[in-house]
Amino acid sequence: MSKAAATATDRSDPPVIPAHVAIIMDGNGRWAAARGLPRAEGHRRGVEALRRVVRAANDIGIQYLTIFSFSSENWTRPKSEIGDLFGLLRRFIRNDLASLHRDGVRVRVIGERDRLERDLCAMLDEAQELTRDNTKLNLVVAFNYGSRQEIANAAQRLAREVAEGKRDPATIDIETLGRYLDAPDIPDPDLIIRTSGEQRLSNFLMWQAAYSELVFVPIHWPDFDKAALEGAIAEYARRERRFGGLAAKTGS
Ligand code: FPP
């Protein structure tokens, strides 16, 4: 359990800052449609919101911010939109990497690499390498990511070790499987935010979300800002996290 989670029920110790916030940045298309703009413009404004929120998260003292940038299901979108999203990721890294590095942000990437072009993989590796010693916000970019695939990959690697006689199946417990996920050193998210009013996880961090607090906000992602992030954190701070145990005693 993270330190922030451990203090989540202690109302005498404000402000309660979640160590790990994960965001499903939803609603770019609807934001654009409501303004008669192409979906691409919604995604472009989505990147601006992302810049604001990374800065805000760093200011607030959040340690990990995971963003769902492209899901393994997003391949079903029209080719042109997929191209727009890939273009935005490339531009985000090209234009923002230096300032993220200056701000002490460490970039991590999770998700499958198999369908990504080689030069994009090189850019992602370079971003991780350049920022690996940074100690402020960890920005975890989930790109071509899907939770079921991540869990299936972990199961496959463990099964291979068993087949090769390197592992006793009895050793496969929750901690072991967790260590075979994409970023085992990153603590589970304390808070998962989804914008645009939809209320589901959509194959995002399903293993890691076992005890996350979920906050759904009605605004579309391009309108999300520091105040909205603080609002979601305030809602999180009001929640009582029990992790399957009993409620903390009050008044004693
Ligand atoms: C959901 O909006 C958003 C996405 C599918 C991708 C999120 C991407 C960004 C915020 C911009 C890209 C950022 C990087 C770093 C690549 P939607 O299109 O599903 O919106 P809708 O549900 O209203 O149609």
Q: How far is CA 181 from CA 12, 207, 218, in A?
A: 36, 9, 31
Q: Does 87 belong to an annotated binding site?
A: no
Query: How far is residue 76's CA from residue 82's CA, in Å, rounded to a whole number?
Result: 9
What dihedral angle (degrees, nearest 10) is formed by the CA atoms of 226, 232, 237, 243? -130
- Which residues are known catalytic residues? 26, 74
φ and ψ of 142, to 5 deg: -90, 105
Q: Find the mean pLDDT for residues 59-64.
A: 98
Query: How far is residue 167's CA from residue 170's CA, in Å, rounded to a whole number?
Result: 8
- Mean pLDDT of all residues in the chain? 93
Q: Does 115 belong to an annotated binding site?
A: no
How confident is the model over 77-118, as pLDDT tens digits? 999 999 999 999 999 999 999 999 999 999 999 999 999 999
pLDDT exceeds cutoff 70 at 5: no
Give the model's pLDDT for residue 189: 98
Please give the number of the atom of ligand 1 that sits closest to the Cα of 39.
18
Give the model's pLDDT for residue 10: 47
Model confidence at 14, in pLDDT bands (50, 70, 90)? low
Q: Find the mean pLDDT for residues 235-247.
A: 87
φ and ψ of 134, to 5 deg: -70, 150
- How many angstroms is it from 81 CA to the middle of ligand 1? 10
The three-class DSSP label of residue 47 is helix
Q: What residue owns the CA closest to ligand 1's atom 14?
A: 89
Give the model's pLDDT for residue 1: 40
CB 223 within 8 A of CB 42: no
What are residue 108's DSSP bridge partners?
140
- How many angstroms is it from 20 CA to the middle of ligand 1? 21
Give the model's pLDDT for residue 178: 98
Query: How far is residue 235's CA from residue 215's CA, in Å, rounded to a whole number?
Result: 7
pLDDT exceeds cutoff 70 at 120: yes
CB 92 within 8 A of CB 54: no
What domains are defined for the chain? 17-237 (3.40.1180.10)
Give the model's pLDDT for residue 242: 81
Pocket test of ligand 1: the residue of 143, 221, 223, 224 to mutate, having most ligand atoms within 8 Å of its CB, is 221
Which residues' Cβ are closer than 6 Å to ligand 1? Answer: 25-30, 43, 46-47, 50, 69, 74, 85, 88-89, 92, 196, 221
pLDDT exceeds cutoff 80 at 12: no
The three-point CA angle 161-165-167 to 5° equals: 55
Q: Find the mean pLDDT for residues 10-23.
A: 78
Give the model's pLDDT for residue 2: 42
Q: Does 239 belong to an annotated binding site?
A: no
Please give the number of the atom of ligand 1 that sits closest to the Cα of 68.
7
Please count the other Cβ atoms lying within 10 Å of the Cβ belonging to residue 85: 20
Model confidence at 249, in pLDDT bands (50, 70, 90)? low
pLDDT exceeds cutoff 90 at 131: yes
How confident is the model over 26-55, as pLDDT tens digits? 999 999 999 999 999 999 999 999 999 999
The three-point CA angle 49-213-179 to 5° equals: 95
Give the model's pLDDT for residue 7: 44
Pocket test of ligand 1: the residue of 85, 110, 204, 219 to mutate, having most ligand atoms within 8 Å of its CB, is 85
- How many angstroms is it from 43 CA to the middle of ligand 1? 6
Structure tokens at 137: 């916000």
Q: Does 80 belong to an annotated binding site?
A: no
- How many angstroms is it from 243 CA to the middle of ligand 1? 31
Q: Find the mean pLDDT for residues 62-91.
A: 97
